[in-house]
């Protein structure tokens, strides 16, 4: 059986394509269909690990989770991870393939088209419906010649297209009409409905504009989705960090300073902290913003050496080491963990021309970069240690590793791991300083487990004479998917959507 298809494209990046695909995956699953997401090419520093250790975009992993489908690299056959100097690592079918400049990749793209078609065909054989996501805008006239992710995919799959625009940015009518004007006639025929996203206000006041769109383009508006606050669902890329919700300074008993690195990766690690009502999570770009922090976090990075140099040039490195001397706890995850060590060796020049750079010197760790990337799903428990994790000993951890370097640890480990990629394996991860105030780990998803997170926060609160309340229930993305589906189902003409997909509506 060949699955039905529907495609979500947008008038620009960050208009809500990924979230709408997530919602449709959840809705179709709720209605009893076997559904899978697909995005031919994704450019993002947020990624995840499939069951067999392959790497795919975080947004496709989220969509698969919402769909109740086992994530696979065929849901995102081409993943681009930007690096310094306008280059990107090309991850092909879950494995690092090449590092190319923008021009080199543009010339190379057509060779990837058969891979895209094969991955989509595999999904269509396994599922009832495939919800396809585009990238950026289909009307980028300078890029259309080598398109492998937008209208070329829609035409190859025979997919009806929902075109999404973000009204919160302004200019929504010009965006939709302008996009249609720049499409080829055969491409316009594929656009079957518009979706207006992130609306604040009274929909009745918008109706004259919706009528205008129908009259001007002949395309109906399938619905107007309201702005949804505090979604609790991982974002695709760091554009979301500039949003007003991230920048809002909510007062809290515990102040956590998250350093905003230029190449920050997998920042959704900190969504569970952001959801804690008694935590003030600050996104820090300047040394002065570290003042008053109860915990400083160095997140993951796609370009560890470059971001370490940024910490030094910005004064953040000196401020972090000074804070550590004052007894402020420091936590590093993945690239942030590597930065906390004594040195980072790069004998093959994988990250920079420097063969070796000095770390921040806060952990007894030495990292050497190598071509092989470690991509693992892991499960384990927190080992006993003083300081930051002293109340969390024995708590479960479940997450994933994505890193190029291997670290040699001269002191105590943080985690005892019992499982890697579904297989039993006894090993350890991370490092902790002798006083327990500096902690580093390779495991993304470190804060996802309720028990570990709350015990870490309880230690921070007790240290400053505060008492935490009962706290939020366990951070639950399944509830977030259901909430998203409810809002989108109530905002879209689902009969029209089902009609476009070629299925009979079940609700």
Are 84 and 215 contained in the same domain?
Answer: yes
Mean pLDDT of 130-143: 93
Catalytic residues: 334, 444
d(CA 467, CA 132): 47
Answer yes or no: do 75 and 129 share one domain: yes
Lowest-pLDDT choice from 72-86, 375-389, 443-457: 72-86
Return all residues near 302 (Cβ < 8 A) that are at least 6 apart: 45, 81, 82, 83, 89, 263, 265, 335
| CA gap 300, 298 in Å, rounded | 7
507 — pLDDT class (breaks 50, 70, 90) = low
Angle, helix 172-182 to helix 207-217, in steps of 10 degrees: 10
Structural domain containing residue 454? 254-463
Question: pLDDT per residue over 41-67, tens digit each?
Answer: 998 888 888 887 899 999 999 999 999
226 and 262 within one domain:
no
Residue range 206-246, pLDDT digits in tens: 999 999 999 999 999 999 999 988 777 766 554 455 544 54
Can you tell me the distance from the alpha carbon of 253 to that of 251, in angstroms, rounded to the nearest whole number?
A: 7
Provide the residue count of the chain: 507
- Give residue 332's pLDDT: 97
Same domain, 35 and 108: yes
Specify whether 306 is located in the same domain as 448: yes
Same structural domain, 265 and 405: yes
Examine the domain organization and report whether 483 and 345 are in the same domain.
no
The reply to whether 446 and 483 lie within a common domain is no
Residue entry with tokens 């007003």? 244
Residues 358, 452: one domain?
A: yes
Give all strands (DSSP E) within 340-395, no chain letters: 343-345, 356-358, 365-382
394 domain residue, yes or no: yes
Q: How confident is the model at residue 424 (pLDDT cuts 50, 70, 90)?
A: confident
Q: Is 405 helix (H, G, I), strand (E, B) or coil?
A: strand
Whether 238 is in a domain gets the answer no
Candidate from 12-26, 331-345, 459-473 with smallest mean pLDDT: 459-473
Interatomic CA distance for residues 125 and 217, integer angstroms: 35
Residue 402 domain-assigned (yes or no): yes
- Quick check: helix, strand or coil at residue 191? strand
| 135 belongs to a structural domain | yes
Q: Are 317 and 455 part of one and the same domain? A: yes
**68, burial (CB in 10 Å: exposed 0-12, middle 13-18, buried 19+):** middle
**Overall domain count for the chain:** 2
- The reply to whether 158 and 281 lie within a common domain is no
Task: Say whether both 445 and 492 belong to one domain.
Answer: no
Beta-carbon count within 10 A of 172 CB: 23
Give the tens place of pLDDT for each residue, 465-504: 988 877 655 567 888 899 999 999 999 999 999 999 998 7
Residue 187 has pLDDT above 50, yes or no: yes
| CATH number of the domain to which 441 belongs | 3.40.50.880
């Amino acid at each position: 059986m060949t699955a039905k298809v529907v495609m979500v494209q947008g008038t620009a990046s960050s208009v809500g394509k990924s979230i709408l695909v997530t919602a449709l995956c959840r809705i179709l699953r709720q209605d009893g269909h076997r559904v899978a997401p697909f995005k031919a090419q994704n450019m993002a520093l947020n990624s995840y690990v499939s069951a067999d250790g392959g790497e795919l975009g975080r947004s496709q992993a989220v969509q698969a989770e919402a769909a109740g489908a086992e994530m696979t690299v065929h849901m995102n056959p081409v993943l681009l991870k930007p690096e310094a100097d306008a280059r990107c690592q090309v991850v092909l079918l879950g494995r690092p393939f090449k590092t190319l400049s923008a021009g080199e990749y543009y010339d190379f793209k057509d060779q990837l088209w058969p891979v895209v078609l094969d991955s989509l065909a595999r999904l269509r054989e396994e599922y009832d419906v495939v919800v396809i996501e585009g990238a950026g805008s289909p009307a980028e006239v300078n890029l259309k010649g080598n398109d492998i992710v937008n209208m070329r995919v829609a035409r190859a799959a025979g997919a009806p297209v929902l075109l999404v625009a973000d009204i919160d940015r302004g200019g929504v009518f010009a965006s939709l009409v302008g996009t249609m004007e720049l499409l080829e006639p055969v491409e316009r025929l594929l656009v079957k409905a518009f979706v207006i996203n992130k609306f604040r206000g009274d929909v009745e006041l918008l109706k004259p504009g919706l009528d205008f769109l129908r009259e001007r383009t002949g395309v109906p508006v399938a619905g107007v989705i309201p702005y949804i606050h505090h979604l609790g669902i991982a974002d695709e890329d760091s554009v979301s960090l500039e949003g007003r919700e991230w920048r809002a300074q909510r007062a809290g008993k515990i102040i956590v300073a998250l350093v905003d690195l230029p190449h920050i990766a997998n920042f959704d690690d900190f969504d569970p902290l952001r959801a804690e009502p008694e935590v003030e999570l600050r996104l820090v770009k300047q040394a002065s913003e570290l003042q008053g922090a109860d915990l400083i976090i160095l997140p993951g990075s796609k370009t560890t050496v470059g971001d370490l140099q940024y910490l030094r040039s910005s004064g953040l490195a000196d401020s972090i080491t000074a804070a550590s001397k004052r007894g402020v706890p420091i936590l590093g995850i993945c690239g942030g963990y590597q930065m906390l060590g004594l040195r980072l060796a790069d004998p093959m020049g994988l990250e920079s021309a420097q063969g070796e750079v000095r770390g921040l010197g806060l952990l007894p760790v030495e990292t050497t970069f190598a071509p092989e990337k470690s991509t693992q799903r892991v499960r384990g428990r927190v080992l006993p240690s003083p300081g930051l994790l002293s109340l969390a000993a024995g708590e479960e951890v479940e997450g994933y590793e994505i890193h190029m370097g291997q670290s040699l640890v001269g002191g105590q480990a943080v985690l005892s791991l019992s499982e890697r990629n579904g297989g039993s394996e006894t090993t350890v991860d991370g490092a902790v300083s002798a006083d327990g105030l500096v902690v580093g780990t390779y495991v993304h998803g470190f804060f996802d487990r309720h028990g570990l997170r709350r015990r870490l926060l309880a230690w921070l609160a007790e240290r400053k004479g505060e008492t935490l309340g009962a706290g939020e229930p366990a951070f639950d993305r399944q509830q977030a998917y259901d909430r998203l589906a409810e809002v989108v189902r109530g905002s879209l003409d689902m009969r029209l959507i089902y009609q476009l997909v070629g299925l009979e509506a079940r609700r």
